[in-house]
Structure 1
Amino acid sequence: MENSSQVSIVRACSILGGQAALAGRLGVTPAAVNQWIKGLRPVPSKHCPKIEDITGGIVRCEELLPSFNWESLRARPPMGAAHRATDPAPAPGHAGRQPPTTNCMLDTVPDRAAVSIDARAIP
């Protein structure tokens, strides 16, 4: 007996031209797609948004994996936009961190690096 997830995968395959075409677009094997169709394995959640995208929204994430809470993901703004909006603005007239100068070579050494300076060393 087919469930709604299996029907949705079959619909996605028919939109894209077959199991191999869907597998190629997702970067998985045709055997994996076949297992989703037969109900042997659920569609991994990481593939659902891509399937929704490549089918033009005809096959939705909620149909592919009803047990996942897609509403909480849809309510969030995109990662890039949210990150840019929360970045602090630089102070006026401040260009940010400047590149190290040649007379201050220790600027390039990470804080946790094991560095010793011998003041008695002859240059």
Structure 2
Amino acid sequence: MEQLRNYLNTLKPYQQMIFAENCETSIGYLRKAISVSQNLNPILCVQIEKNTQGKVTRQALRPHDWQRIWPELIG
């Protein structure tokens, strides 16, 4: 989640809102999820990775179980 926090902090508030909308969520939801270290839905993780052009990875968002969700990313 630290990658996501750092990425969002590089964006201006209006850019954060646009980013969240492109990920089909809200900036409020993302900020809350970051603050409580919530596991994000795998679909949202893919959207975040896509909309950050890989700067925030699925592996970073789900460090404890990404191998079970996306085994094709192993190795």
TM-score by length of 1: 0.46
Asked if the contact 1:48–1:64 (Cα under 8 Å) also holds between the matched residues in 2, the reply is yes
Distance 2:45 2:59 in 1: 8
**For the aligned residues, what is the CA RMSD?**
2.3
- Higher RCO by CA contacts (8 Å cutoff, separation 6 or greater): 2
Shift of 1:34: 1.4
CA distance 1:36–1:56, shift in 2 (3 Å): same
1:13, CA displacement in angstroms? 1.6
Alignment correspondent of 1:50 = 47
Taking the TM superposition and a 5 Å limit, the aligned residue runs for 1:49-68 are 49-68=46-65
Q: How does 1:1-123 map to 2 (within 5 A)?
A: 5=1, 7-18=2-13, 19-39=16-36, 41-68=38-65, 69=67, 70-74=69-73
**Distance of aligned partners of 1:52 and 1:40 in 2 relative to their CA distance in 1, 3 Å threshold:** closer
4+ runs deviating over 3 angstroms: 14-19
Structure 1 residues 26 and 66, CA, compared in 2 at 3 Å: closer, same or farther? Answer: same
Structure 1 stretches of 5 or more lacking a match? 76-123
Q: Between Structure 1 and Structure 2, whose CA radius of gyration is higher?
A: 1
d(CA) in 1 for partners of 2:37, 2:60 = 17
Structure with higher helix content: 2
Q: In 1, Cα distance between the equivalents of 2:37 and 2:19?
A: 17
Q: Percent same amino acid at aligned positions? A: 17
Q: Is the 8 A contact 2:19 2:51 kept in 1?
A: no
Q: Tell me how many residue pairs correspond in the alignment.
A: 70
